[in-house]
Amino acid sequence: MPIDHDKAINIAHVLTEALPYIRRFAGKTFVVKYGGNAMGDDDMIDSFARDIVLMKAVGMDPVVVHGGGPQIGKHLEKLGKQSRFVDGMRVTDAETMDVVEMMLGGLVNKAVVNAIAKQGGRAVGLTGKDGGLIRARKLLVKGEDIGQVGEVESIDPRVVDHLEAGGFIPVIAPVGVGADGTAYNINADLVAGKLASVLQAEKLMLLTNVQGLMDKQGRVLTGLTVAQVEALIADGTVQGGMLPKVACALDAVRSGVKSSVIIDGRLEHAVLLELFTDQGIGTLIRA
């Protein structure tokens, strides 16, 4: 078969562009939040898994926190149970919590673990209950009790540290446990942000189904400081469903994480494009 010189040269350019980033990030921890909306089909999951396995292969330590809202909603529909939300938080009674644990801790978690294994990686699936990872407390939304919905009270990262040291990739479902043993459904962005802060991660990566923060003309904004993002919130440029995600990104940076980035997880190899190219993608926020 004849050599395709143009293709070979393109590959060489990609590798040389990636090399300084591989050197810079070796040994650093990256918390990657993989949203349920970014799990559209097997190809998307496989692309994400390849990115995570490559990160580990070149000496980086990825920690995956996944969501699963769409998957939970579909299963509740099959059971004839209608979902209700208050400020974007799913009202979670005991029956709904059973479904949340089954989908997040079971089906979705193991799908991500299996996808990583197919690409040659070694992943271990966890919920916040495992190893006392996530201690939670009840979250009241505007003073309203919406059931077993929680917020992170504290994180004990020892189980994550041990897995990283053993060459494993932790894959974490955002279910926490209260002091009395009650299970809580926690927003995956919140878990990822708090975990990144505790681990003092190099970067928090929030994969979602939008390109990033947009200005009022619909252009993606990037290279933003915390002060600039706060100004965009104040003038109404950032609003609605992006506010909780942006708040997590800001909290992480304020807590010592080097940077946070919001990227479109539907793009093939979105993680690698952000990490290993000069331009990156999405919205980068730094101190």
What mean pLDDT do residues 254-277 have? 91
Rounded Cα–Cα distance for residues 57 and 53 (Å): 6
CA-closest candidate to residue 126, choices 156, 94, 160? 160
Per-residue pLDDT tens over the stretch 165-202: 999 999 999 999 999 999 999 999 999 999 999 999 99
Write down all domains in the chain, each with its CATH number in brackets: 26-53+62-286 (3.40.1160.10)
d(CA 94, CA 155): 24
Mean pLDDT, all residues of the chain: 90
132: tokens are 């006392």
Q: What is the total residue count of the chain?
A: 287
Maximum distance among all Cα pairs of the chain, rounded to whole angstroms: 69
Residue 4's pLDDT is what? 64
CA 52 – CA 269 distance, rounded (Å): 10
More confident position, 213 or 148? 148
Q: What confidence score (pLDDT) does residue 280 get? A: 79
Residue 40's pLDDT band (cuts 50, 70, 90): low
pLDDT for 209 equals 84
Percentage with pLDDT > 90 across the chain: 64
Q: Per the confidence metrics, is the pTM higher than 0.95?
A: no
pLDDT of residue 5: 61
Pairing of strands 259-264, 283-286: antiparallel
The answer, yes or no, to whether residue 9 has pLDDT greater than 80, is no
Contact 147, 98 (CB under 8 A): no
Neighbours of 204 (CB within 10 A): 30
CA distances from residue 3 to 6, 9, 104, 164 in whole angstroms, order as listed: 9, 11, 46, 40
> pLDDT category, 286, cuts 50, 70, 90?
very high
Residue 1, pLDDT > 60, answer: no
Residue-wise DSSP of 199-249: HT-SEEEEEESS-S-B-TTSPBP-SEEHHHHHHHHHTTSS-TTHHHHHHHH
Give the end-to-end CA distance of the chain in Å, rounded to a whole number.
51
Q: Evaluate if residue 14 carries a pLDDT over 90.
A: no
